[in-house]
Structure 1
């Protein structure tokens, strides 16, 4: 094609693409911006010309034209980086890239109200189009949402794994239901004294799991077991001491639902030290489906939470809100509203059922 030779020695432009494809610059722009208002035949022709010319859109020009940065801020905490590490981060980056956005990852090191405001002002200064707030529930990292005028922010905000507050968009897991499902599993094994080792009780996630555990015990005719609760801190070193405390409270303890797989690791170690057989003397189950939990001794029954899916739903919801503010059509993958309250999946392993039968 002669148009290809006309761009030698210079960077191909959108006008070059439009000329080669026989369309207007506006139509070529729609293809680049993944607009649905283009026929598939035209889209294919424009994309072929882009490939032939080696055209690369200028991010700066795109921002100046649209008044948008095409950047999303993600606020998390490195010590609890469930959205900034591993599969969740990879999935979120791919989803953002598919939708035409880059991610600006910011780390919270302090959790005071002033630190929150500094972070928000930094993101506003960087002109991000939207924010995913994924910090852990520590200090004011979530409490600021109780009275802050979120709707006055110049960009939409979606909060991850926090309790629902008014009209603030929140994506997370149904931890109350998870507590019920886990406890029902232990009840189904005819365990009669089911204790719980919770996470920090100033966290809504821990509170909801305790409420679900107690609700299932009441349904199963064991409300008295609802007093067998010891607080941990999510980490393995607190699991063992918590188990010893539960055994002091109830020598007949025959099952324990642990608020995290990491604490459950400590429970399994301590049970072995105490001469307790798992699951014969003590059924143990956790929640989170930590990558190593299938390799604990014995392998741990747990509640799987699909964190990558949570991250992707949050990102798609944020892009929906951006489009709504700007009066733009939704990208195809964001067009159908998704349930922001995700459910856990019960994964049964040997720590509650013993040696699994051969198939």
Structure 2
């Protein structure tokens, strides 16, 4: 095989194709990780790329394909998904593997005019697709109810929100999470199970609340559905919410809390009131906050794999981009994936008590 070109000479895709004995189109498919290439051909082209020191030109790739290889991410940094933490890092890595960069935009207001500004900003920058995340506040998601989504020049995938006809959504089954959390408490012979929800204007909170109610009804305890108060997902609302819940339901022996942050406030208030956890009252949350295993006592919770959610959303978006352009799926996106994900019960001392093992 030929040696790498001398300094100052740029190796082109045509050089790679010539050395590998394939067409330029086939070499391009290998560079773009297309599934429409045999493994033998892929290996030969990759070897030639290594020998020649070929580096794809991002600008040439964009000009030749008429696309930016950039994906827009709209979220809220304070109370939404995907603008920080492990989920965002996972999505960045997945995008990089698929040859895309991310353009993150923070939505600070939730009016229709703010939505329009955000959409126009992303359209002007020719992003190939959009991940729409963040809380369902005001018009931040409601705009999709009457907006002709198909008229957007790029596909859009929504994260963990109320499903809408014609809109791709990736998220968790929060109804099932609420139901399974309550079933866990029922399995421990708790019969007066209260619920502290997140803000009830949020679809996620509504679904978890509905799952709690369904599990009680399934167990023949529909009368306990009055043991409910609303919180705000923050630690400061946990204590006041527990006091209000005890006023409504004095016989309370367990509580399913709508977030681990609120559950920390509940544990603190229970200790202050002299209530033993879990002997007097079992407490469990949802989210599996990284600190929840270090609460006193360690918190039983429902784990939601937000890294997986972010990666599935991104792969789905790239599938939709490929479909719009009538192109084969990249290998990483070749198989369709489930878009409704489930939580995993993480049982700890706040419901089980200390292990006797």
TM-score range for the pair, normalised by the shorter chain length: over 0.9
1:161 equivalent to 2:160? Answer yes
For residues 146 and 26 of structure 2, the distance between their equivalents in structure 1, rounded to whole angstroms, comes to 45
Q: How does 1:290-329 map to 2 (within 5 A)?
A: 290-329=289-328
Alignment deviations for residues 274-314 of structure 1 (CA, whole Å, 9 cap, x no partner): 00000000000000000000000000000010111111111
Distance in 2 (CA, whole Å) between partners of 1:23 and 1:335 is: 23
Q: Which of 148-157 and 92-101 deviates more?
A: 92-101
1:3/1:16 contact within 8 Å kept: no
Q: CA deviation at 1:9?
A: 2.5
Structure 2 Cα separation of the partners of residues 11 and 306 of structure 1:
43
Alignment CA distance shift 1:162-1:277 (3 Å) = same
SS in 1 for 2:140: helix
RMSD over aligned Cα, in angstroms? 1.3
Decide whether the 8 Å contact of 1:194 with 1:254 is kept in 2. Answer: yes
Q: What's the secondary structure of 1:323's corresponding residue?
A: helix
Tell me by how many angstroms 1:2 deviates. Answer: 4.3
Moved more, 94-103 or 78-87: 78-87
Aligned to 1:35: 34
Distance 1:43 1:156 in 2: 29
Q: Secondary structure at the match of 2:196?
A: strand
Cα deviation, 1:93-149, whole Å, max 9, x if unaligned, reads: 111112121111111111111000110011111111110101211221111111111
Cα deviation, residue 84, structure 1: 2.2
Distance 1:17 1:84 in 2: 38
Q: What is the TM-score with the length of structure 2 in the denominator?
A: 0.97
* Whole-angstrom distance in 2 between the partners of 1:290 and 1:40: 42
- Deviates most, 216-225 or 278-287: 216-225
1:72-103 Cα offsets, whole Å, 9 max, x none, are 11111111253122221121111111212111
For 1:213 and 1:280, locate their aligned partners in 2 and report how far apart those are by CA, in whole Å: 21
Superposed displacement of residue 3, structure 1? 4.8
- 1:9 matched to 2:21: no
Structure 1 residue 31 displacement after superposition: 1.4
1:54-69 alignment runs, 5 A limit:
54-69=53-68
Residue of structure 1 equivalent to 2:343: 344
What CA distance in whole angstroms lies between the structure 2 residues aligned with 1:135 and 1:82?
5
Distance 2:220 2:23 in 1: 72
How far apart are the structure 2 equivalents of 1:244 and 1:8? 73
Q: Indicate the larger mover: 231-240 or 315-324.
A: 315-324
Q: Tell me the number of residue pairs that the alignment of Structure 1 and Structure 2 aligns.
A: 357
**Structure 2: distance between partners of 1:44 and 1:108:** 44
CA distance in 2, matches of 1:38, 1:210: 49
2:148 aligned partner: 149
Provide the C-alpha distance between the structure 2 equivalents of 1:264 and 1:61, rounded to a whole number of angstroms: 53
2:36–2:328 contact (8 Å) kept in structure 1: no
Of 332-341 and 270-279, the range deviating more from structure 2: 332-341
1:209-288 to 2 correspondence within 5 Å?
209-288=208-287
Match of 2:84 in 1: 85
Kept in 2: contact 1:171–1:313 (CA 8 A): yes
Q: 2:110 aligns to what?
A: 111
Residue 335 (structure 1) aligns with: 334
* Counterparts of 1:267 and 1:313, CA distance in 2: 34
Query: 2:253 & 2:260 partners in 1: Cα distance?
Result: 18
Gaps of 5+ in 1: none
The whole-number CA distance in structure 2 between the counterparts of 1:350 and 1:187 is 16
Measured after TM superposition, the shift of residue 33 of structure 1 is 1.4
Is the Cα–Cα contact under 8 Å of residues 3 and 20 in structure 1 kept in the other structure?
Answer: no
Partner Cα separation in structure 2 for residue 35 and residue 338 of structure 1? 18
2:45 alignment partner in structure 1? 46
